[in-house]
Amino acid sequence: MVRLRQHAGKSKSRRAGRTPTAPRYLAELHSRLRTKRRCRTRCDADGLHFFRTLRGTLRTTERRSSRPCRERPDIAASRVRNRAAVLTSPHPAGVAPKEKAMPTVPQPQPAGKRRWPTAPPRSAQVVYPESDDKPMAESDLHGEAMVDARQPLQDHYAHRDDVYVGSNMMMYYVEGNPKRWISPDVFVAFGPSRLPLRPVWKTWEEAKLADFVLEVTSETTRATDEGSKRRLYQRLGVTEYWQFDPTGDYLDPILKGRRLSAGGNYELIPLATTTEGLLYGESSVLSLHLCLDEGRLRLFDPAAGDFLLSHREHVVGHAEERRARKAAEAEIERLKRQLARR
């Protein structure tokens, strides 16, 4: 007990200077109490009481030393500048109490190490499909009507580089949204270059959708051709919208034309009859006439006074020319032989 009191006196003298480390000091006292006990009754009780009192005093002193000093606030700040936050021991019940902890100070960065800003995530590239995986035409009759309209128009405007003639192309009219598209059977656009050929049509790159559109109406497309497509072409500023029914079962009359008025609405184009009895409608955009010749749609050029030849007619015409040329060559050879005999 005497030694404990002497040791307590030494601890008081040490408090005037630097406070010793609490865990190490308590471990030393605890070791002395266990090994050098002289009294097992009152001395043990007094020593244990003194030990607990001293332990609480040292913990209080160390806790206070970590707080900012009122006279010199810079002392505590310099003492914990390069330390991370230290929390107190968890509560025995498992719930952390609202206890005070050391302030968190940013750790110094190593020399030469720079924090570069992270690049923003790249937006995914929008893919515009080239096909809707649907058949081009409902039947061969409808497909032939499309070809008979497209091929003559391509031949008619072949000398112009600022006219694009297309058919069944995916035409996108909202940038960044591949779900907004339309695919007319035949279209003509004045202004965009004829070459190169496009896999898809983007209105924000071409500055327009089309000036002329022809839809070959069938049983499955009748409702959309007369409804949603007509409204969309009107909204997108297509000057002329034509419909043709090669079967004659779904349109009356089987040829219909609409022209965009000054107010932005479609108006029906009146049809007339030629002296030969052919029903036709005039297209001011193409400067051509769309005529019905024995149920077929043909394009008539009033400036030339003749029909534009379709692909089939071109093939037939070339075949007739070859036969006529061969016949002429054979006749020339016959005449040469007759002259040689004389």
Number of separate helices (H) and strands (E) present in the chain: 9, 14
Phi-psi region of 300 (alpha: psi -120 to 50; beta: other; left: phi over 0): beta
User: Where do the domains of the chain lie, and which CATH numbers do they carry?
Assistant: 2-71 (no CATH), 140-309 (3.90.1570.20)
pLDDT tens, position by position, 34-79? 665 554 545 556 666 666 777 777 666 656 655 555 555 555 444 4
Distance (Å, whole) CA 314 – CA 331 = 26
Main-chain phi, psi angles of 143, to 5 degrees: -65, -40
Query: 149-154 — which CB contacts under 8 Å span 24+ positions?
Result: 149/185, 149/186, 149/214, 149/216, 149/244, 149/297, 149/299, 150/186, 151/310, 151/311, 151/314, 152/299, 152/308, 152/309, 152/310, 153/186, 153/188, 153/286, 153/299, 153/308
Across-strand partners of 307?
300
- Residue 212 CA to residue 149 CA, distance in Å, equals 12
C-beta separation of 27 from 73 below 8 A: no
What per-residue confidence (pLDDT) applies to 103?
55
pLDDT of residue 250: 92
Residue pair 221/257 in contact (Cβ under 8 Å)? The answer is: no
Average pLDDT of span 312-337 = 76
Q: What is the pLDDT of residue 328?
A: 83
Mean pLDDT on 141-159 = 93
CA distance 208 to 7: 98
Q: What is the DSSP letter of 156?
A: H
Instruction: Tell me if residue 97 falls in helix, strand or coil.
Output: coil
Report the share of the chain in percent with pLDDT over 70.
Answer: 63
Beta partners for residue 339, in sequence order: none
Residue 102 has pLDDT above 80, yes or no: no
Residue 222 parent element (H or E): helix 222-226
pLDDT higher for 15 or 180? Answer: 180
pTM of the model: 0.59
Backbone φ and ψ of 244, nearest 5°: -140, 130
341 to 249, 333, 336: CA distances (angstroms): 67, 13, 9
The pLDDT value recorded for residue 195 is 93
User: 68-82, 102-116, 250-264, 265-279: which range is least confident on average?
Assistant: 68-82
- CA neighbor of 85 nearest in space, from 98, 102, 109, 72: 102
Mean pLDDT of 12-27: 54
pLDDT at 64: 60
Q: What is the pLDDT of residues 204-260, one digit of tens each?
A: 999 999 999 999 999 999 999 999 999 999 999 999 999 999 998 999 899 999 999
Under 8 Å between Cβ of 165 and 155: no
Q: Please give the structure tokens belonging to residue 309.
A: 């030849």
**Which carries the bigger pLDDT value, residue 273 or residue 88?**
273
pLDDT tens string 120-130: 566 678 999 99
CA-based R_g, the chain, Å: 49
